[in-house]
Amino acid sequence: MNIAGPVSAMTLAERARRAAKVAAEFADQVDTEGRFPREGMDALKAERLMGVMIRPELGGEAASMTEIADLCAILGQACASTAMTYAMHQIQIASLADYAVGSAWHEAFLKRICDEQLLIASATSEAGIGGNLRNSICAVDLDGETARLEKNATVISYGAMADAIIVTSRRNADAPHSDQIATLFLKEQYSLERTSVWDTLGMRGTCSDGYIFKAEAPAEQILPKPFAEIAAQSMLAVSHLLWGALWYGIAADAVARSQAFVKAAARKSPGQTPPGALRLAEASNLLQQVKANVVAGLKQFEAAKGDADALNAMSFSVAMNNIKVGTSQMILTIINHCMLICGIAAYKNGTPFSLGRHLRDAHSAQLMISNDRILGNTSTMLLVNKQDTSLLG
Amino acid sequence: MNSTIRELLSKHGGLPIAVDKLADADDLYEAGLSSFASVQLMLALEEEFDVEFPENLLNRKSFSSIVSIADALSQITDDRQVA
Ligand SMILES: Cc1cc2nc3c(=O)[nH]c(=O)nc-3n(C[C@H](O)[C@H](O)[C@H](O)COP(=O)(O)OP(=O)(O)OC[C@H]3O[C@@H](n4cnc5c(N)ncnc54)[C@H](O)[C@@H]3O)c2cc1C
């Protein structure tokens, strides 16, 4: 590890906890105002956590996906918008770090991410396509060594705050919708014309406005691997695992709040079990299932990592899809239990037991790539996939 | 074998171009094969050749070209003869 200053002696998790403390302080304000979680993100940069997944030769710390997931879970307990921003940034880095190996331009950029603690956004969603990641309407226009692209991007989280955006498109104007590439565009190479404002129920701090994205850049900034490969082997799995980890964080904080509520009630009337205690036990049981689901997925991912056949296997996609659908549904049940435990104290804003923000943030999980769409894909795969009935395999 | 694969590909592949415009080694995903269509194609191949694709061949690579589909199929039928 070659980082200087006070962060070098601490573990990644300790550094994330320091940043999470800052993020937690501003979480309600970020939510109320629907503004970018600047303080939390600045704290993550101050802890030098933006490029930790990158190889040490390029200035990173070679953090594993499991470690990154742990950081997302820590942040999720503090401020879901900060956690989601961090997670989405890391998803982009995972694609770059593993699928642009040997591309001098991209490797130099990875080094810049570490040196300058840059923030990377993603534009996959497109008007007319919705959440179908593996389809694009827009196409890159290659003119000699210059790539031009215009995209009607319906949702780009922290688009206005990012230093670069990775944008999916068709390979060229003649390519079918599924023949996609991903291109990294730098802030100074694109313009964003805002078409919609992110005034939502939850995840308000992600500032996921819609934009007409217009860019021009040297063609070498196109990721060398086809996007189909990046999506299948990295982006889908990494998204589901890191999202699952931060969603776990949201639910874990809700359970922590309701446990504090039950404890306070128990202290007030010694000898009597508070009415919420049983439901807390149930919530704790469900939370453990979410955790086990994510941890098992991380284990499977780490085992498959670097093995294209294992990452491409249908059984692997089915498992990752199941993690996404399962965790996104379960956290809502858990937070609802916590609501019942804390009652009005949870329903009201501004109490130590408030859960409105948690519940609203958690509701994004089943829509962020629609669960119905994911279940549809899984059901197609199950037409041919052989079920692995072993407990450990 | 390749002509049967081509026939099933044109029926189930949902490709935006005619299958006879494709060479055996051309990348089917680049030609527009979706993952949904690849599963439909796989089911049709299983039915036609009376085989079942094993787990280790259920991946993108097996369906990336007519050649690779043929390879996968002959691998399955070879295994069956050995067994
Ligand atoms: C917090 C947050 C941040 C986001 N950030 C980004 C970002 O940075 N970049 C980005 O590109 N996108 C981002 N997205 C968008 C996201 O990835 C999806 O594109 C989006 O959530 C899907 O939107 P939709 O519901 O309109 O789309 P659709 O996928 O079009 O779905 C609309 C509805 O149709 C139904 N439906 C559609 N297709 C099917 C199908 N095949 N089977 C079954 N049902 C179907 C679904 O039930 C769904 O309710 C973000 C979303 C959220 C919530």
pLDDT (tens digit per residue) in B16-67: 888 888 999 999 988 888 888 888 898 999 999 998 888 888 888 888 899 9
To the nearest 10°, report the CA torsion of A78, A80, A82, A87.
120
Q: What percent of chain A has pLDDT over 70?
A: 98
Arithmetic mean of pLDDT, A171-183: 93
| Mean pLDDT of the region A159-174 | 97
Mean pLDDT throughout A216-229?
Answer: 95
Query: Looking at residue A220, what is its pLDDT?
Result: 96
Give the predicted TM-score (pTM) of the model: 0.93
**Which pLDDT does position A261 carry in this prediction?**
97
What is the pLDDT averaged over residues B58-78? 88
* pLDDT at residue B55, rounded to an integer: 82
Q: Which residues contact B35 (CB under 8 A, 6 or more apart)?
A: A134, A377, A380, A381, B60
CB contact under 8 A, B61 and A312: yes
Report d(CA A217, CA A198) in Å as an integer. 28
The yes-or-no verdict on residue A152 having pLDDT over 70 is: yes
Asked if residue A312 has pLDDT above 60, the reply is yes
Beta-carbon pairs below 8 A across chains A and B = 61
Contacts of A312 in chain B (CB under 8 A): 59-61
Q: Once rounded to an integer, what is the mean pLDDT over residues A219-228?
A: 94
ipTM of the complex: 0.77
What would the pLDDT profile of A204-220 be if each residue is shown by its tens digit?
A: 999 999 999 999 999 99
Residue type, A40: G
**Does residue A77 surpass a pLDDT of 70?**
yes
Which of A135, A179, A236 should be substituted to probe chain B, the one whose Cβ sees the most B Cβ atoms within 10 Å?
A179
Inform me whether the pLDDT recorded for A59 exceeds 60.
Answer: yes
How many angstroms separate the CA atoms of A35 and A30, rounded?
5
Cα dihedral A66, A292, A290, A325 sign: positive
Q: Note whether A176 contacts B55, CB cutoff 8 Å.
A: no
pLDDT of residue A291: 98
Whole-number pLDDT of residue B61: 84
A178: which chain B residues are within 8 Å (Cβ-Cβ)? Answer: 29, 32-34
- Which tops the pLDDT comparison, A134 or A342? A342
**Residue A393: per-residue pLDDT:** 74
Q: Of A163, A157, A153, nearest to A204 (Cα)?
A: A157
Q: How does pLDDT run across A362-377, given as a tens digit for each residue?
A: 999 999 999 999 999 9
* Distance in angstroms (rounded) separating the CA atoms of residues A44 and A20: 8
Write the residue with the smallest CA distance to atom 45 of ligand 1.
Answer: A373
Report yes or no: B42 at the A interface, CB cutoff 8 Å.
yes
Contact (CB<8Å) B31/A309: no
pLDDT digit string (tens) for A32-56? 999 999 999 999 999 999 999 999 9
Which residue, A190, A96, A166, A177, is CA-closest to A139?
Answer: A177
The answer to whether B39 faces chain A, any CB pair under 8 Å, is yes
A368 lines ligand 1 (CB under 6 A): yes
